[in-house]
Amino acid sequence: MKFGELGLSKSLLRAVKQSGYEEATPIQEQTIPMVLKGEDVIGQAQTGTGKTAAFGLPIIEHVDLDNPNIQAIVISPTRELAIQTQEELYRLGHDKHVQVQVVYGGADIRRQIKALKKHPQILVGTPGRLRDHISRGTVKLDHVQTLVLDEADEMLNMGFLDDIEAIIKETPEERQTLLFSATMPPEIRRIGVQFMRDPQTVKIKAKELTTDLVDQYYVRAKDYEKFDIMTRLIDVQDPDLTIVFGRTKRRVDELSRGLVARGYNAAGIHGDLTQDRRTKIMKKFKNGKLDILVATDVAARGLDISGVTHVYNYDIPSDPDSYVHRIGRTGRAGHHGVSLTFVTPNEMDYLHEIEKLTRVRMLPLKPPTEEEAFRGQVASAVNDIDDLINDDATDKYRESAQKLLDTHDAVDLVAALLNDLTTDDAAKVPVKITPERPLPKRHRHHNNYHGRGNNHRRNSDHYHGHRGQNDRRRGGKNHRFQRNDHKFSVRRKKD
């Protein structure tokens, strides 16, 4: 369905078009007309289904610019999701000049208080910081017309239930309430019964949870084998932009350090990092200056980053819904994506649970050999060299290049360059990844499982390369290529 059929004003439709939206997603198609009517809505939808626009567009439509009070509040579980939601609402409401402010912990509260004095009509925030502002009297919610609980199940998992209930009680009883959650545990249903009026339910069907645009594979491997296999897969698949998911903060730290040690352009985020550090890492990743982001589920919750080509589940998630959240980071906006999940022998039941929910049969992937990983590195290095040759800034080196050609064989020179741009076998750089406690053994039997698998376009006996169209900017033995304003610069590694 086109957005023009949903009852939005022309100014909002212009904002929709400028944001790159074309057709409404199922959650948008069903939710927007209900919210425009003023109905309460419970939406069961995963990250990546477009729910921010689903509630944001009708909220912006209803904003009264002459009213200086906070008219809508969005409660988000994490700082990253709150910031991202604020940014999207700002883009959608820009033409209408709607003021949108965000508040979250870990940032200077004085600067937030100053920003709140500009009278935003929409406020986005995390539960703890919102309660802080309410207790200080810097946020008043007595004129709120619409309340949004985003990623409600995640807020419940993080222990924010008391904060949420306290914030809700600060808003008028005659308000519109919108609740979005990937799952519907009893506590979430209780919020719906207690704080909502005859809510309408919008549920995305299981067949819509994953997309045909994401090819889903798994590698069966023991825990101590996974890191070496993953780095070889990165060499073979040559992803443009990758997210690696780890189960714990320690896992994320070790994985990100290990990837950097082997020459990859990687960094990790989790809840223990400062907000400033997390913001800088996310900015680099969004701008394509960081190739691999390693993250926990909570840290990456709600991240909407265009251009992610590969998702590696280094640890299989303990529940199927988390899997859907993870792989929803790729295969967006009509672009193709790849997800790859590492499964230890005792975790196969968890894999079957995921297949049962998504109704997609994952294809097994054979780990690449050392020789295949090396060929992948060389192919990537050749692409890098092609880009370097096309750089106009090479003319000033022609004289030196000619001198080298006069004293050395051309093939030897190119071989030396390729040698410098590739690394030895990944396993030769030792990396210690601490084994995680195994997931508890499931007691269900899946021998009679008959999941309906989507049709995959590639045969499982290949290595499913999906090689990236751009360079990985992976470092060689002595140098590292990095993009900077669309040009390559060479930086020598520090010892």
pLDDT per position as a tens digit, 204-230: 764 455 567 889 999 999 999 899 899
Residue 424, pLDDT > 70, answer no
Helix (H, G, I), strand (E, B) or coil at 399: helix
pLDDT per position as a tens digit, 369-398: 776 656 666 666 666 666 667 766 667 777
Residue 332, pLDDT > 90, answer no
**Whole-number average pLDDT of the chain:** 80
Give which of 86, 81, 84, 248 is closest to 155, Cα–Cα. 81
pLDDT grade for 460, boundaries at 50, 70 and 90:
very low
pLDDT at 426: 52
Residues of the chain with pLDDT > 90: what percent?
Answer: 39
Number of alpha carbons in the 13 Å side-chain half-sphere of residue 154? 27
The CA distance from 350 to 72, in Å, is: 40
User: Range with the lowest mean pLDDT among 239-243, 400-404, 430-434?
Assistant: 400-404
Go through the domains of the chain in sequence order and give each one's CATH number: 3-204 (3.40.50.300), 209-369+427-492 (3.40.50.300)
Check: CB of residue 46 under 8 Å from CB of residue 151.
no
pLDDT at 192: 84
pLDDT grade for 169, boundaries at 50, 70 and 90:
very high
pLDDT per position as a tens digit, 397-422: 777 777 777 787 777 766 776 666 66
What is the rounded average pLDDT of the residues 472-478?
42
User: How far lies 119's CA from each of 248, 321, 490, in Å?
Assistant: 39, 38, 48
pLDDT at 457: 35
Give which of 65, 147, 69, 52 is closest to 98, Cα–Cα. 65
pLDDT at 437: 79
